Structure 1
Amino acid sequence: MARVLMYTTAVCPYCNNAKKLLAEKGVVPEEIRIDTQPQLRQEMMAKSGQRTVPQIWINDFHVGGFTDLWALDKAGKLDALLAQH
């Protein structure tokens, strides 16, 4: 199973939707909460070029946010990404 890393905040509905979609796939992401560790927002922005959450990586592939994750699933590509080691 792939390593899934996600930068999140507690009150973000898109973060919750991403976690729900991943849970349906049997995946629990490694979460980095930037609301409780605000210094990590800079790290997230440097890695992704984005300011918004969630920011999701599957292994070394930067997926983007929830809508990008959802689009991968609808295109039938998410399961293959999650199956990679």
Structure 2
Amino acid sequence: MKKVEIYTTPTCPYCHAAKALLGGKNVAFEEIVVLDPDLRAAMTQRANGQRTVPQIFVGDTHLGGYDDIAALDRQGKLDALLAN
């Protein structure tokens, strides 16, 4: 399974939902809390200008935020992305 990284903030409900979705699939992930402006800037650069959280990466592939991974899951495409 590829490394999964999720950029979050503590009070973001979408971050909690994304972590729950991944956790429900027994996916281990690294959580990067972006309270520090430098971490937020690094996330924004890596996520092609996206400043909102969560931002989710599988390996070097940017999946987007919670809505994006939830849509992939509904389409049956998320598991394959996580497995490769």
The offset of 1:59, in angstroms, is 1.1
Q: Aligned-pair distance for 1:38? A: 2.9
Q: Matched residue pairs, number? A: 83
2-side partners of 1:28 and 1:38: how far apart? Answer: 26
Match of 1:58 in 2: 58
**TM-score, normalising length: structure 1:** 0.93
1:26 aligns with 2:34: no
Q: Classify the secondary structure of the residue corresponding to 1:31.
A: strand
- Could you report, residue by residue, the CA deviation over 1:38-85 in whole angstroms, capped at 9, with x for unpaired residues? 32000011111101000000111100000000000001000001111x
Provide structure 2 residue ranges, at least 5 long, that are not aligned to the other structure: none
2: CA distance, partners of 1:76 / 1:52: 25
Answer yes or no: is 1:38 the counterpart of 2:37. yes
Residue 2 of structure 1 deviates from its aligned partner by 1.7
Q: CA RMSD in A?
A: 0.8
Structure 1 Cα separation of the partners of residues 25 and 59 of structure 2? 16
Match of 2:46 in 1: 47
Q: Structure 1 segments of 4 or more deviating over 4 A?
A: none
1:58 & 1:19 partners in 2: Cα distance? 14
Q: For 2:37, give the aligned amino acid.
A: P
Q: Compute the TM-score of the two structures, normalised by the length of structure 2.
A: 0.94
Residue identity opposite 1:39 in structure 2:
D
Extract unaligned runs of 5+ from structure 1: none
- Sequence identity of aligned pairs in percent? 55
Aligned residue for 1:77? 77
- Whichever residue aligns with residue 2 of structure 2, its letter is A
